[in-house]
Chains A and B, each alone.
Chain A
Amino acid sequence: MAKVPVQFTLNGSEKAEFVDSGTTLLNALRDKIGDTSPKGGCHQGTCGACSVIINGELRLSCLTLAETCNGAAITTTSGIAEGGVLHPLQRAFLDTFATQCGFCTPGMIIAAKVLLDHTPNPSRDEVIEALSGNICRCTGYEPIIQAVLLAARANSQNAA
């Protein structure tokens, strides 16, 4: 099978790999590069566990071909803590008990980060809308919604 070169930045570091044509970004990140924070729950674009940020936009890495990511800036949950300090969303997920099995958590945090990057002070309905592509089978969603609202409040206090 033809190998194709792909180069992008992942959480700020440059990556260059040869992948089989047709490899998903999810598999390239997990199996080639070793960033296992995006999870493969359904591999068909319905569970949201593999969510990543590509050039500022929320994307499902299981439906994105690695070879289409040349030159892109990609962010995953493993790369959003800075200097050993948790991102406000990570802190909020901890503080509100918004994780149980943890499998959906990285995707949830990424979806929430894209929301807060575009809408720093979202309403509850906006949070629900932003997380609607991410399935969680343990929490019943309420603690997750609370975590995102808590992180948003922390954001607005920092800005003030």
Chain B
Amino acid sequence: MELRKSYFADVRKDDLHEIGQPRPRSDSPGHVTGKTAYFADRNFPGMLHLKMVRSPHHHARIRSIDTSEAEKHPGVVKILTAKDVPHNVYTILILIQVGPEDETVLADGKVRWKGEAVVAVLAETERAAQEAAAKVKVDYEVLPAVFDMEEALKPGAPLVNEYHGQNYYLYDSGECRKVRFGDVEAVFAEADHLLEQSYQSSPIEHAPTETTGCVVMPEGNDRFTCYTNTQAMFFTLDNTSIILQMPGSKLHFVGGTVGGGFGGKVDVIVEPIAILGAKLTGRPVSFVYSREEEMQISSPRAAEKVVIKDGVMKDGRIIARKVTGYTDAGAYSRHSPYGAQKGAGHYPGPYTIPYVWIDTYCVYTNRTPSSAMRGFGVTIGDFALEVQMDKLARLIGMDPLEFRFINAYRDGDMKAHRQPTEGAALIECMQEASRAANWPVAKKYMAMSSYVKGA
């Protein structure tokens, strides 16, 4: 690995002993010998297998649930419905005051997306659990559903989630997250060119090689050990504590080894119900997604729509930007209100634009709830912003990289959310990119620096 120490040599401390030094990964010896213990590598005698009965409808009222045939199936030990869950309605981010609680552990009265968990079946073998799950009879009254964000926001659209009361997340700033920096409309009138474009994306599945799951062992003293591949150990512990109304001291979570996550394992979905199963049966419980469930049920990256309008001058300066962003949360919040909020902070881009206006909406639809995935809320935005930058450069007949040098933020520049820029180094990155890609830019850009003394 090469470190370019010539940059910022006069301002950077150079007494680091670890950063910049190659170090062996501490977990690799376990990986290459097959000794690393993933949650599913624990197998306990008498372990039960949990399978979920899932909604075949996008939106439906549950008239009745009949588990009598399933209960008679050989090997079935316990069947759980909403009434068995102590605190059935929850939301993951309630721990950081992002509410309201809007999602059920097991559906109660209504399902809001195709694949939603309705009934949990615990049986001696995976096969028995699967066969019994197929015998659970749920009587649904199918309701009209909405799959498109713009449709969901129209008056009269089917209401997806009653806990919100409308098909968007209500922020403390209102129906959307807002950034306001000067009078954008007035400045648009002075621009040499205006360009308004819209960009949209589909949901993206993480597809980790190891599917989501956990194995729970009752310790016999009303305390439970949960081996899990969660990426969010403390969110999981604390939410489980709320859902099961059990003190955290009764819950012992063991994790840290995740067979691929990419953000797909930060939701609290499998652990509470598996621990409840272990509590009510007194036996170890394994709840592991099949590959099919992983692809269809686990929460993907949100579908997004981004509308960007820029005012640009012939000399390359962007003088005003207006962005409206829509994040498709699916039926429940999970991490999406946070993702939409991140988008609001991100849409000015790494550019200094003196007038900015941003609205980002988190919209509910009857689709699979979306959640975290690698920079969720900003990666689709970056795609849109950078395509927009290329289009703007083309519009004024300028080289796209030189166009970015003109607008790149530098230390001391005020950002749209009123945080002064510090430690930008964007100019230097682009200079390196220009050399590496053999994409020459004018000398004056190669002489620029992000670092402004005294900024």
A103 touches B260 (CB 8 A): yes
Residue A101 contacts which of B37, B40, B41, B259 (CB distance < 8 angstroms)?
A: B259
Is the Cβ of B34 less than 8 Å from the Cβ of A101? Answer: no
Bound complex: CA A94 to CA B33 (Å): 10
Are the C-beta atoms of A37 and B207 separated by less than 8 Å?
no
Query: CB distance B31 to A99 under 8 Å?
Result: yes
Give Cα A102 to B29, complex, Å.
10
Chain A residues contacting B24 (CB-CB under 8 Å) are: 94
Q: Is B211 part of the binding interface, using a Cβ–Cβ cutoff of 8 Å?
A: yes
Q: A94-B24, A99-B25, A101-B210 are in contact. Are A43 and B291 (CB under 8 A)?
A: yes
How many chain-A residues does the 8 Å CB contact rule pick out?
Answer: 37
Q: Does B258 contact A (CB under 8 A)?
A: yes
Of A78, A81, A102, most B-chain CB atoms within 10 Å: A102
Any A CB within 8 A of the CB of B351: no
The reply to whether B211 and A41 form a contact with Cβ atoms under 8 Å apart is yes
Residues of B within 8 A of A42 (CB): 291
Residues of A close to B33: CB separation below 8 A:
37, 77-78, 81, 86, 90
Say yes or no: B210 contacts A39, CB within 8 Å.
Answer: yes
Dominant secondary structure of chain A at its interface with chain B: loop
Q: Which residue of A lies closest to B35 (CB)?
A: A78
Residue B209 lies at the interface, judged by CB distance under 8 Å to chain A? yes
In chain A, what residue has the closest Cβ to B295? A42
How would residues 118 to 131 of chain A score, 1 for a CB under 8 Å from any chain B CB and 0 otherwise? 00000000000000
Asked if A102 meets B291 with Cβ closer than 8 Å, knowing A39-B38, A41-B210, the reply is no
Residue of A nearest to B208 (CB): A137
Residue from A37, A44, A89, A136 in contact with B34 in the complex, judged by beta carbons closer than 8 Å = A37
B209 engages A101 (CB within 8 Å): yes
CA distance A138 to B41 in the complex (A): 21
Write the nearest CB–CB distance from B76 to chain A, whole angstroms: 16
Minimum CB–CB distance from A50 to chain B (whole Å) comes to: 11
For the complex, is B27 an interface residue (Cβ under 8 Å from A)? yes
With A44-B291, A99-B25 already in contact, the answer to whether A105 and B43 are too (CB < 8 A) is no
Q: How far is the CA of A90 from the CA of B34 in the complex (A)?
A: 10
Within 8 A of B (CB), among A67-89: 76-78, 81, 86, 89
The 8 A CB mask of B201-233 against A (1 = contact, 0 = none) is: 000001111110000000000000000000000
- B43 in contact with A31 (CB, 8 Å): yes
Quick one: closest A residue to B294, CB to CB?
A42
At the interface, yes or no: B262 with Cβ under 8 Å from chain A? yes
Is A93 at the interface (CB under 8 A from chain B)?
Answer: yes
B321 CB to closest chain A CB (Å) equals 33
Residue of B nearest to A104 (CB): B209
Q: Contact: A103 with B34, CB < 8 Å?
A: no
Q: Is residue B197 contacting chain A, with contact meaning CB distance below 8 A?
A: no
Report chain A residues within 8 Å CB of B262.
137
Q: Cα distance A81–B28 when bound, in Å?
A: 15
The answer to whether A93 and B32 touch (CB under 8 A), given A39-B259, A99-B25, is: yes
Which of B29, B206, B210, B290 has a CB less than 8 Å from the CB of A103? B210
B209 touches A103 (CB 8 A): yes
Contact in complex: A102, B28 (CB < 8 Å):
yes
Q: Which residue of B lies closest to A95 (CB)?
A: B24
Q: Within the complex, which residue of B37, B210, B258, B260 is in contact with A36, where a contact is CB–CB below 8 Å?
A: B37
Q: Does B36 contact A (CB under 8 A)?
A: yes
Contact (Cβ within 8 A) B37 A94: no
Contacts of B20 in A (CB 8 A): none
Give every chain B residue within 8 A of A78 (Cβ-Cβ): 33-35
Complex CA distance for A34 and B42, rounded to whole angstroms: 9
How far does the Cβ of B137 sit from chain A's closest Cβ, in whole Å? Answer: 26
Chain A CB within 10 Å, residue with most, of B27, B209, B259:
B209
- For residue A49, give the distance in angstroms from its CB to the closest CB of chain B: 6
How many Å lie between the Cα of A141 and that of B233 in the bound state?
Answer: 29
Bitwise, A14-46 to B at CB < 8 A (1) or not (0) is 000000000000000011001111111111100
Taken together as a complex, chains A and B put the C-alpha atoms of A102 and B261 apart, in Å, by 12
Q: How far is the CB of A45 from chain B (nearest CB, A)?
A: 11
A 127-160 contacts with B by CB, 8 A: 135-138
For A90, what are the chain B residues with a Cβ–Cβ distance below 8 Å?
A: 32-33
A47 interface residue per 8 A CB criterion: yes
Interface residue A109 (Cβ < 8 Å from any Cβ of B): yes
A102 touches B30 (CB 8 A): yes
A145 CB, nearest partner CB in chain B, Å: 16
Residues of A close to B41: CB separation below 8 A: 30, 36
Q: Which B residues between 259 and 290 are near A, CB-CB below 8 angstroms?
A: 259-262, 290
CA distance A47 to B259 in the complex (A): 13
Most buried by B among A36, A77, A109, A135: A36
A93–B25 Cα gap in the complex (Å)? 11
Q: List 25 A-B contacts (CB under 8 A).
A: A37-B34, A38-B34, A41-B209, A41-B211, A43-B290, A43-B291, A77-B32, A78-B34, A81-B33, A90-B32, A93-B32, A94-B24, A94-B28, A97-B28, A99-B27, A99-B28, A101-B208, A101-B209, A101-B260, A102-B36, A103-B38, A105-B32, A106-B31, A137-B208, A137-B209
Interface residues of A (CB under 8 A from B): 30-31, 34-44, 47, 49, 76-78, 81, 86, 89-90, 93-94, 97, 99, 101-106, 109, 135-138
The 9 A-B pairs at the shortest CB distance, nearest first, are namely A37-B34, A102-B31, A103-B259, A36-B41, A90-B32, A77-B34, A99-B31, A78-B34, A106-B34
A103-B209, A137-B206, A137-B262 are known; give 6 further A-B pairs, CB within 8 A.
Answer: A30-B41, A41-B210, A42-B291, A103-B208, A103-B259, A103-B260
